[in-house]
Structure 1
């Protein structure tokens, strides 16, 4: 029986490799051998059990970039919560972290009896081109009813600009006025709506986007928020995480902020990533496929960890928002198969530096959503995220790949077993790689398991800008009722090398490999 499974898996695997190079002249495909070296003695980092996170934003349909209006009805204020695909897409993670926030969050008023509840309107002279908007409590009730059914862990981004003065130099000064935020928090607690974390502000750190707030003032405001949360949640038995600043990493600003939020005032420090530049960049795909450019973001992760460790602050780091290419991304790039190369590489890289959670911009909305903005049909990155969530465990292993610079390789203890899961990303369109697995250190092989499970992801017709992803040669698509498809692996003889086709992504679950780090 084992031989039948393995032979069948090998035949299907060869078919996948053929599919993945349809657009390449077969004679131009080079076969390269390589080794992936895994140190399984101890883990090098640890992520949250629910590492995958996605955002929901505030942008109205009138939000446009480069002549394209890509947001439609994907705002927290107008998203169709009755859509079955949206429902099933969130439920499939059980749970998915969802961060509610974005550029306009510092212009959102929460409906109460003291303030009018007006909606966002276009006004070019205003910061981000819109007037302040309002979250009606009726809509907040609707969102929470939806969250109760779908089960996500909710992080809410609070307006951090209330009460401040805008200065001619572009900064905002003065203390944060927490009264309106407090009204929302109390309303939320009174109705028993679970919140995983409250995050203060969006992109106000360092040089800021739109405006900025000094680190010492921000730290004081964060402490104010924490004290209010302690008081409001004193009878609930559980206080949500206190999170900030949700901005771009600036070493000096972050250092000062961490040093002034000691004594457990801050639980999570968040930073944002748009390292590929503007969505309009005509060289965006070239950047995604360039290993040297992908490598550059490692410096940010490393530096942030150094700043955290030197501060002595017990807070952990998250990527609070990452869309790769700013200004809503780029259609048929940041919502296409090619973007999974960047996205999964980011997940792997962030994990190595003890990043506990990674929030993708967006779940839906713009040109970088995990779901199509108008049809709600999953884009390729949705399936990449879900596979990661189901296969990659908390403990991160040290990995090195030798053979070609176009292979990105990561390994974690598996979520499915006491074994391991590998992730390979092949950035080359004309190279098939055969990789052996080499263990640095003692490992034990489970003799009852002689096969591994492989999940090969490729683009339909080999077209990198396709929004259709294949798993082991079969199209991934929702059912007529909006159900997320199952992920059926290939079963391959464990003695065979792992084959990574051109422009492909491969997850490999190896349940028989029992490493000390994973026990």
Structure 2
């Protein structure tokens, strides 16, 4: 290997400037600060992908969105038996697969003797029994447990407008008939955006509270082992709330939780998007009436900001909004982030590039330190934010980052001892190696390298790209791709001796330190 090739393999490139003074890593002494679910890194398959229907339309040339009326485009049902899809999903297992989304709120599930091709009154879509069987079979094949939500629209109501569990019971019974199970569920998708989500006209916090108490009783009776998630709200942060911005129809999460008492959740779920995508930014501006409101602020994002601390900390700001609500209404419940991605409404064009892998992995690192037990990325294989390209099902850069996380980062969360901001260094136990430590080093600086002093030898796995907005990514200098047979490559680390180690600008590195001798990782 030539000196130039060796430098590339170690994540070095021409833009790397002088590094700052070496910060010490002491893996043996890193304290345990929490744990995450073994299925911590999970993903969504939207209900509309399973049934087929209108989802976010592809961008035009250079990311253009023609008109607001062209935001959605029909797509056929996702082939959950596809060999490549199953192979790549299985490599991320064990995981949770969440089948939900806005469309799930009004999707009809037929009885065994029905042949429903059109939704009955009060519903907008149909989930066939064969399609749900595909979900159960997929989950079995890829070591995933099912997370979902249930229909709550006008078609599920009795004569006085109360929610009835008939639809939920039918799907639960069929799941069991197939030998499957539902590990966790939210009552409905994004209840604070109920008006947008197809709830009955005039749906209120009081209506949700009554519905949720019925759902909680149903779950206790029919699904006693299922984790009841909620509320599953979206669009609220410590800095700005869509409701406070005056967007019509939004219900504050506090009102939802207060109205639900005395019923509560087993895990406090929420959704996080740092911004709206270009598809929906114009809609937010229109809803705000041209005024400088929180709705517009939430829609602001740019690829130029994608490595900034201001952008990356938005995940903290959302969690900070929900933490006092969790502490007040469900103090013993862990957090689940059941839907997240670069931006809502399908993601921006750069969500499919290496630029977003910094956010993807930084978010996993941040949330693991803050009582978040599960993070479900939206989506596995749909729109620009999918881990896989929706047409070819080939891995995007975020998928390769996800694969390395799954390979190396265990469930014991450690304090790395390297302070932020400016340095994004996270540590977990090294998966499958008692006493070993895995360290994730994300250098978001475009001009300077970062140096850490490491007391023990190990292996490094450095992700880099010629251009941050490229859809290709290299591991230790070798471009990552499936082989001609469609198989995943072996992910090998580069031996790294003890001492000062440089991490080049705009790179992401996992360090495997099997000889760390950390007692918390035994």
**In which range does the TM-score fall when normalised by the shorter chain?**
0.7 to 0.9
Alignment pair present for 1:145 and 2:132:
no
Alignment pair present for 1:183 and 2:199:
no
Partner of 1:416: 432
Between the aligned partners of 2:444 and 2:195, the Cα distance in structure 1 is: 33
Q: CA deviation at 1:456?
A: 0.1
Instruction: Using CA pairs under 8 Å that are at least 6 residues apart, name the structure with larger relative contact order, 1 or 2.
Output: 1
Between the aligned partners of 1:425 and 1:310, the Cα distance in structure 2 is: 34
Contact 2:22 2:453 in 1 (8 A): yes
List alignment gaps of at least 5 residues for structure 1. Answer: 1-7, 122-126, 166-172, 438-444
Q: CA deviation at 1:249?
A: 6.4
Alignment pair present for 1:30 and 2:18:
yes
Count of equivalent residues: 470
Between the aligned partners of 1:103 and 1:206, the Cα distance in structure 2 is: 9
Partner of 2:102: 103
SS at match of 1:399: coil
Contact 1:71 1:373 in 2 (8 A): no
Partner of 2:84: 85
In structure 1, which of residues 296, 302, 312 is the aligned counterpart of residue 314 of structure 2? 296
Partner of 1:484: 488
Q: Call closer, same or farther: CA 1:56–1:176 in 2, change over 3 Å.
A: same
Deviations, residues 110-132 of structure 1 (Å, cap 9, x unaligned): 112798734589xxxxx9xxx71
Partner of 2:292: none
Deviations, residues 122-163 of structure 1 (Å, cap 9, x unaligned): xxxxx9xxx711001122123322332222111122123345
- 1:41-190 equivalences under 5 Å are 42-57=31-46, 58=48, 60=52, 62-65=54-57, 66-67=65-66, 73=75, 78-112=77-111, 117-118=116-117, 132-162=124-154, 174-190=161-177
Partner of 2:323: 305
Partner of 2:226: 240
Normalized against structure 1, the TM-score is what? Answer: 0.81
Q: Call closer, same or farther: CA 1:510–1:182 in 2, change over 3 Å.
A: same
Is 135-144 or 53-62 further displaced after alignment? Answer: 53-62
In structure 2, which of residues 211, 218, 221 is the aligned counterpart of residue 221 of structure 1? 211
Alignment pair present for 1:388 and 2:405:
yes
Between the aligned partners of 1:113 and 1:195, the Cα distance in structure 2 is: 19
Deviations, residues 26-63 of structure 1 (Å, cap 9, x unaligned): 7xx33333415669464222211110111011154643
Deviations, residues 79-132 of structure 1 (Å, cap 9, x unaligned): 1233221011111123221100112111211112798734589xxxxx9xxx71
Deviations, residues 245-272 of structure 1 (Å, cap 9, x unaligned): 2222659954555566678852222111
Q: Call closer, same or farther: CA 1:249–1:315 in 2, change over 3 Å.
A: farther
Contact 1:413 1:419 in 2 (8 A): yes
Partner of 2:344: 326
Please tell me the root mean square deviation across aligned C-alpha atoms, in Å: 3.4
Q: CA deviation at 1:375?
A: 0.2
Q: Call closer, same or farther: CA 1:80–1:36 in 2, change over 3 Å.
A: farther
Between the aligned partners of 2:516 and 2:3, the Cα distance in structure 1 is: 21
List alignment gaps of at least 5 residues for structure 2. Answer: 58-64, 238-250, 282-299
